Amino acid sequence: MLQAVRSRWFCFAAVSGAVAVVGCSAITSFSGLTGDDADADASKPTSDATSDGTIVIDAMTPAADTGADVGPTVCNPQKTITAAFTTDMGPFTPYSTIDGYPHVESFFGDTALTLIPFRDTSLVDAGPDADPVPKQTEYLDSQSDLWLTTAVALTSFDVSFEAQIRCTSGSSCADGLIFAWLDTTNPNVLTNKNYGSGGGLPDFIGGAGIDIDNYKNEPAEMNDPYAPSLQIIQLDPKQQIGVYAWQKAIEKLSFADAWHKYTIKQRAGAVTLFYDNVMQLTANVTIVKTGIVGWGAGVGGESDSVAIRNASMTFYDCVAP
């Protein structure tokens, strides 16, 4: 925050014959941007009164002129990926316990990559003297993941995608969608069966991610304070997925039954999450230099349906601006 802008005038005089020439120039200080107030004339200390009456004495040392402007360090993308998910899965690899999924198909009228298909669990008449039965049975205790198995640089990255999540029924709605970056280059760890709140993420692997969560887990699980919510999460390489609180930041927000855009900006562990182009959450997580990225969707004792589209990713091997 800019705290102070001060202008000081310095004058000089030159005498040639009977003519005296006087010149003045202004030096403007923007030291409030950095909090280091050392911009005044070294020959004459000045004092500034702060808002609480404290007097700050400036030690005046003029800055040396290097004679050249130094621009920002160039940070070029190491890898860029775009995937519409309207014809295929692009460069991503599916890991799923649901036969045939992930799969590109119509998802409530829009072509997208469906991770977990919708199941109509509404009850229908089963005939005389028979109890109503569900039109379709739910997918329970299942996962459907999509991973970029080729490791990428993760010092800095920008990722965006659209997702739609729908509850199977009013009484069954879990567990949402996770986008994660994992501290591993070994895709073999992705062949796990972590259902429900674990979202198909592997055990004992570090990393971080965002959780689009529509189920409030019990204290013995993720210990969510409320749902639905958006979360920035930290993965613990020393613990099994689903048995520890992983939230670094959380905000209650309803996202069901519509397409929404999620944008993640990560810079050396500083994560910012945007929801429909509006900043929602920030948090610091452990830095991962190189690893695997992707989406995980899991269902346990309750279920939902999940689809994604229009993914865009840029990965840097340095701290990007």
pLDDT tens digits for range 293-304: 999 999 999 999
In this structure, are 125 and 225 located in the same domain?
A: yes
Helix (H, G, I), strand (E, B) or coil at 283: strand
Same structural domain for residues 120 and 248?
Answer: yes
Q: What size, in residues, is the chain?
A: 321
d(CA 249, CA 234): 10
pLDDT given at position 321: 83
Residue 151 inside a domain? The answer is: yes
Burial class (CB in 10 A: 0-12, 13-18, 19+), 111: middle
State whether 13 and 131 are in the same domain: no
Question: How does residue 184 score in pLDDT terms, banded at 50, 70 and 90?
Answer: very high
Has residue 118 been placed in a domain?
yes
Residue 33: predicted pLDDT: 38
Is pLDDT larger for residue 58 or for residue 134? 134
pLDDT at residue 52 is higher than 90: no
Query: In the prediction, which pLDDT does 22 show?
Result: 38
Q: pLDDT digits over 257-272, tens only?
A: 999 999 999 999 999 9
Residue 110 domain flag = yes
Q: How confident is the model at residue 73, as a pLDDT?
A: 63
The verdict on residue 63 lying in a domain is no
Q: What is the pLDDT of residue 3?
A: 41
* In contact, 9 and 24? CB cutoff 8 Å: yes
Indicate if 28 and 138 belong to the same structural domain: no
Q: Is residue 66 one of the residues assigned to a domain?
A: no
**Residue 129's pLDDT is what?**
87
Q: Count the domains in the chain.
A: 2
Q: For a pLDDT cut of 90, what percent of the chain falls above it?
A: 62
End-to-end Cα distance, the chain? 19
* Among candidate residues 261, 233, 266, 284, the one with its CA nearest the CA of residue 158: 266
> What's 269's domain CATH number?
2.60.120.200
Same domain as 147, residue 51? no
The answer to whether position 69 is within a domain reads no
d(Cα 307, Cα 197) in Å, to the nearest integer? Answer: 17
Most confident of 6-20, 41-55, 104-118, 231-245: 104-118
Conformational region of residue 199, where left means phi above 0, alpha means psi within -120 to 50, and beta covers everything else:
left
Both 53 and 81 in one domain: the answer is no
Q: With respect to residue 267, please indicate whether it lies within any of the assigned structural domains.
A: yes
Question: Are 213 and 249 within one domain?
Answer: yes
Domain match, 14 and 154 both:
no
Looking at per-residue confidence, does 24 or 252 come out higher? 252
> What number is the average pLDDT over the span 274-285?
98
User: Which has the minimum average pLDDT: 93-97, 107-111, 120-124, 307-311?
Assistant: 120-124
Q: In which domain, by residue range, is 14 found?
A: 6-58
Within a domain: residue 65?
Answer: no
Collapsing DSSP states into helix, strand and coil, what is residue 198?
A: helix
Q: What is the mean pLDDT of residues 55-61?
A: 38
CB of 82 within 8 A of CB of 312?
yes
pLDDT tens-digit series, residues 126-182: 888 889 998 999 999 999 999 999 999 999 999 999 999 999 887 789 999 999 999
How far is Cα 136 from Cα 118, in angstroms, rounded to an integer? 9
Is residue 119 domain-shared with residue 236, that is, in the same domain?
yes
pLDDT tens digits for range 65-101? 444 444 456 788 999 999 999 999 999 999 999 999 9
Q: What is the mean pLDDT of residues 197-223?
A: 90
132 and 45 in one domain? Answer: no
pLDDT of residue 127: 87
pLDDT in tens, 5-38: 334 333 333 433 433 433 433 333 333 333 444 4
Q: Are residues 259 and 307 in the same domain?
A: yes
CB 107 within 8 A of CB 307: yes
Confidence class of residue 4 from pLDDT cuts 50, 70 and 90?
Answer: very low
Q: Which residues partner with 162 through β-bridges?
A: 261, 309
pTM confidence score:
0.76
1-5, 121-125, 132-136: least confidently modelled range: 1-5
Q: Are residues 50 and 99 in the same domain?
A: no
